[in-house]
Copies of this chain bind each other. A is one copy, B any other.
């Protein structure tokens, strides 16, 4: 029986952890090499059914480093790669820029909604990817990845990419600009949602039947960026619901039995710090924090 395996290539939000221009108290621990924190590159996962071929879900600017650090993704022949597909759940820079590390004439298929394909096409640099085959998929439809993995994209409350925002973007509507993905193989189900402004009833149904959920852990509290003086937006304005609080993800996942793992963790989020009150709180609620290199075998 094929086993569904996911490798966490990166677990941080856009900007990575520590972030190049930040010496907030959480980043400071990382720059100082404090053992309570781990460096984390920007979020993305690789999935396989055990046949030696891998699909990447979201490709961040850190993809080159992530491939070099992940033996399963190293080439095994004169020219070629175990990576034969990429799926996007959106077109933020931290979801698409890694395509630039997949150039040099090896073919692969890019699966994304028409909205995300259009955002990618608005950047001339990607024209260098002459061997990339584009495949548009609609939320709700099922498509097959290598090894017989059934993939389904589904809409998630959120917003369009930052660089395509107008003055007052809608941040809690559901559209094909921001989706989650469900992967099914051999009876196992994995759901990956790196950005969500809210959890809908339909999303809860997917989580309830999953074996594992990797979910948006960007901010611990909605006003975290404001209080730290590092940003002018709430989490919701950025399209990310907080972990804590009445409308947070801890509350929204109550009663869900799946293995639950936070991913896409912003540099300001104290769950980066092992043993912090916030880290203890999410552990007490049955959650883990994703780490670069973590393997999830279902």
Contacts and interface: CB of A to CB of B under 8 A. Distances in A.
Contacts of A27: 75
A79 B22 contact: yes
A127 B122 CA distance: 11
A138 to B, nearest CB: 23
B125 A124 contact: no
B124 A163 contact: yes
Number of copies: 2
Contact of A104 (B15, B64, B123): B15
> Which interface class (under 10, 10 to 19, 20 to 34, 35 or more) fits A?
35 or more
Nearest to A77: B23
Contacts of A96: 125
B97 A100 contact: yes
Contacts of A164: 124
A19 B63 CA distance: 12
B97 A93 contact: no
Given A61-B101, A101-B20, A31 B93 contact: no
Given A62-B64, A100-B97, A104-B15, A75 B128 contact: no
Interface of A: 14-16, 18-24, 27, 31, 39, 41-42, 61-65, 67-68, 73-81, 83, 93, 96-97, 100-106, 119, 122-128, 162-164, 229-231
